Amino acid sequence: MDLDTRTATGRLIFAIIAAMAQWERELIVERTINGLAAARARGKTGGRKAVLSDSQVAEAMTRIQAGEKSGEVAADYGVTRQAIYRRAKNMRKDSTND
């Protein structure tokens, strides 16, 4: 499209197209938020399923605090050590929010 933004008409057309693009983007965001809220109301949750249960994370943290290497403990569960620490942190955060 040949649009000359040096002219008043070109700037007007450009502004209208930009405003419509912004409006469309805001509609998409609004629909996404509404869709997520509707899914939550139906009991659906987003995100990946947890690989380790809370009891497994607690057990892994106990082993690490007892002196075992975190990498070896993580390998026993088939996860990375970051996954164990992240889940442990989230469990602590969730327990303080209750």
Task: Write 4-11 long-range contacts (CB < 8 A, 24+).
Answer: none
Which pLDDT belongs to residue 3? 84
Looking at residues 84-89, what average pLDDT do you find? 90
Per the listing, tokens 């499209």 go with 1
Contact between residue 36 and residue 30 where contact means Cβ atoms under 8 Å apart: no
More confident residue, 75 or 3: 75
pTM, 2 dp: 0.53
Q: Mean per-residue pLDDT for 21-45?
A: 96
Q: Give how far Cα 77 sits from Cα of 14, 57, 84, 88, Å.
A: 57, 9, 9, 14
- Residue 4 one-letter amino acid: D
Work out the mean pLDDT of the chain and round it to a whole number. Answer: 91
pLDDT over 70 (residue 1): no
